[in-house]
Amino acid sequence: MNLLLDTTSLLWFLDGSAELPDSAAALIEAEDSRPLVSSVTAWEIAVKVGLGKLRLPYAIGEEFEETLLNNGFELLPISNAGLERTSRLPDHHRDPFDRLLAGEALEHNATIVSPNPIFDEYGVRRRW
């Protein structure tokens, strides 16, 4: 199963945070899961780090990508097809990162792992 983690889910998973439900962690770690992280998420993290809203124990860039790979995640580039799909989404939400993640999830037939119910409005399968 293709799983696309949103920023919150990814950061909580990497931090081992108790805020990530056990069911979400188990889904991410399941053998039949293909956990994906969009470049959209890396972009959002970089923006938050740059604004001083987020601190990480690793640098955004190669070290971040290595952290993802070491944890079994596949980093997805932002695809033209995902951008096209995003441009056709209804105007339920103005957050550009969430809209792009919704488009990517739909394009990659992925279930998004997120606490954010806005993805339900876009018809994205969501687990939490």
Q: Where does residue 69 rank: exposed (0-12), middle (13-18), buried (19+ CB within 10 A)?
A: exposed
Q: pTM, whole model, 2 decimals?
A: 0.90
Condensed to tens digits (0 to 9), the pLDDT of residues 25-69 reads 999 999 999 999 999 999 999 999 999 999 888 778 788 889 999
For 2-127, CATH number out of 1.10.3720.10, 3.40.50.1010, 3.10.20.30, 3.20.20.220 equals 3.40.50.1010
Quote the CA–CA distance of 53 and 57 in Å, as a whole number: 14
Cβ–Cβ < 8 Å for 35, 72? yes
Q: How far apart are CA 23 and CA 107, in angstroms?
A: 25
Q: Cα(79)–Cα(56) distance, rounded to whole angstroms?
A: 26
pLDDT tens-digit readout, 82-104:
888 888 888 887 788 999 999 99
Domain parsing of the chain, residue ranges: 2-127
Residue-level pLDDT at 30:
96
Provide the 8-state DSSP code for 43: H
